């Protein structure tokens, strides 16, 4: 095919006629690049490269073009409800922040150098003052830097602490009780506790028959763990209340149940909830009833993407994968 070239009379540079159907890599068409991008949504670069007999660098380049086209079609976001979360990029506590639109159910920003206030400020700067002023609700974990940044850059937004992060703190408290019981006991009494961390932390309906039997045996064998487990399961009812007054009564009663139980990790958890009560009780308000499961689902998806991209040091690629993982195919 002949492509016309012309010389500009002003700058004297030779310019080439644009070919709309050609990919950024001129050896391939856009149609083929989009096909590669669709294949990479469910397979690794290595597998797609092997299937199509291409170099893995070529596959990654074509997929990047596909993902940029996805973002262009999705348009510039103007969110009213956002979810703020961080994830570990690699070992050594290297963090990045992901901000999602919880109404449209899609990530809209990936960045930052850590999980500091300055890093989250970068998101609000990217979004702009006008769109930041439209945010009515920000869902986050109980990290102080996120709270400070949102209060400074979007002061009109209500702050809601994510249920899954709160329950994760409670799960950690339960695991501390398990460890202390394992250290305290010896001999036959220990064998029911060893290797049962995830049995205790999982919801009973998510366990198979073998797991449920192991949980039943464990709770029957250790009274302290049984109490801690029942308190953990009961605490989840807090998010079912539609009135902050009744939610507060429930929490006070739950705290009263800790008396004489010698569960120090639970007492520390109760103090944590007390310090962040306003952000937790905000869920009682009807206007703040948003689907909180999306943030947890996105976290799981990010972990899958990280495993699939293991060994690739291209952070731009990982960012594009995260931002497009909930977008429809082209």
Q: Where are the domains of the chain?
A: 5-74, 81-162+292-324, 164-278
| pLDDT at residue 67 tops 70 | yes
Distances (CA, A) of 310 to 62, 203, 254, 307, 317: 19, 30, 43, 5, 12
Helix 293-308 and helix 315-324, axial crossing angle in degrees, nearest 10? 140
**Which whole number is the average pLDDT over 177-193?**
80
Task: Note the pLDDT of residue 1.
Answer: 55
* Mean predicted lDDT score pLDDT of the chain: 88
The confidence band for 12, taking pLDDT boundaries of 50, 70 and 90, is confident
The confidence band for 302, taking pLDDT boundaries of 50, 70 and 90, is confident
Contact 146, 120 (CB under 8 A): yes
Contact 97, 84 (CB under 8 A): yes
Contact 86, 96 (CB under 8 A): yes
**Which whole number is the average pLDDT over 291-307?**
80
pLDDT per residue over 223-238, tens digit each? 888 999 999 999 999 9
Helix 45-52 and helix 30-39, axial crossing angle in degrees, nearest 10? 130
Task: Note the pLDDT of residue 273.
Answer: 95
Task: Note the pLDDT of residue 217.
Answer: 83
**Which whole number is the average pLDDT over 256-273?**
92
**Which whole number is the average pLDDT over 21-44?**
87
Task: Note the pLDDT of residue 209.
Answer: 84
| Residue 93 CB partners (closer than 8 Å, separation 6+) | none
**Which whole number is the average pLDDT over 178-202?**
80
User: What is d(CA 183, CA 190) in angstroms, rounded to the nearest whole number?
Assistant: 8
**Which whole number is the average pLDDT over 273-289?**
91
**Inter-residue long-range contacts of 19-25, CB under 8 Å, 24+ positions, other chains counted:** 23/62, 23/65, 24/61, 24/65, 25/58, 25/61, 25/62, 25/65
**Which whole number is the average pLDDT over 52-76?**
93
Task: Note the pLDDT of residue 100.
Answer: 93
| pLDDT at residue 28 tops 80 | yes
| pLDDT at residue 23 tops 80 | no
The confidence band for 271, taking pLDDT boundaries of 50, 70 and 90, is very high
**HSE-up of 8 (CA within 13 Å, CB side)?**
8
Task: Note the pLDDT of residue 54.
Answer: 94
CATH superfamily of 81-162+292-324: Ribonuclease H-like superfamily/Ribonuclease H (3.30.420.10)
| pLDDT at residue 314 tops 90 | no
Q: What is the CA radius of gyration of the chain?
A: 25
pLDDT per residue over 82-117, tens digit each? 999 988 877 666 889 999 999 999 999 999 988 899
Task: Note the pLDDT of residue 310.
Answer: 61
**Which whole number is the average pLDDT over 151-173?**
93
């Amino acid at each position: 095919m002949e492509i016309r070239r012309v010389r500009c009379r002003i700058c004297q540079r030779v310019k080439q006629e644009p070919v709309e159907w050609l990919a950024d890599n001129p050896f391939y068409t856009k149609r083929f690049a989009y096909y590669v991008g669709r294949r990479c949504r469910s397979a690794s670069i290595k597998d797609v490269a092997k299937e199509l007999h291409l170099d893995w660098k070529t596959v990654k380049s074509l997929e990047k073009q596909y993902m940029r086209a996805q973002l262009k079609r999705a348009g510039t976001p103007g969110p009213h409800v956002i979810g703020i979360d961080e994830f570990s990029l690699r070992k050594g506590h290297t963090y990045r922040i992901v901000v999602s639109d919880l109404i449209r159910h899609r990530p809209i920003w990936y960045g930052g150098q850590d999980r500091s206030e300055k890093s989250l400020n970068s998101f609000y700067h990217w979004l702009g003052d006008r769109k930041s002023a439209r945010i009515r609700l920000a869902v986050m974990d109980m990290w102080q830097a996120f709270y400070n940044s949102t209060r400074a850059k979007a002061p009109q937004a209500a702050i809601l602490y994510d249920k899954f992060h709160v329950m994760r703190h409670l799960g950690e408290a339960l695991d501390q009780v398990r460890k202390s019981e394992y250290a305290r006991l010896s001999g036959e009494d220990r064998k029911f506790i060893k290797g049962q961390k995830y049995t205790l932390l999982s919801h009973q309906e998510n366990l198979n028959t073998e797991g449920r039997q192991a949980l039943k045996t464990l709770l029957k064998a250790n009274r302290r763990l049984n109490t801690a487990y029942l308190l953990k399961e009961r605490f989840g009812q807090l998010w079912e209340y539609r009135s902050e007054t009744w939610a507060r009564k429930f929490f006070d009663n739950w705290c009263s149940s800790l008396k004489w139980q010698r569960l120090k990790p639970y007492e520390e958890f109760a103090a944590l909830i007390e310090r962040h009560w306003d952000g937790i009780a905000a869920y009682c308000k009807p206007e703040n009833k948003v689907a909180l499961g999306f943030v947890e689902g996105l976290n799981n998806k990010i972990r899958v993407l990280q495993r699939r991209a293991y060994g690739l040091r291209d952070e731009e690629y990982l960012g594009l994968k995260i931002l497009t993982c909930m977008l429809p195919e082209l």
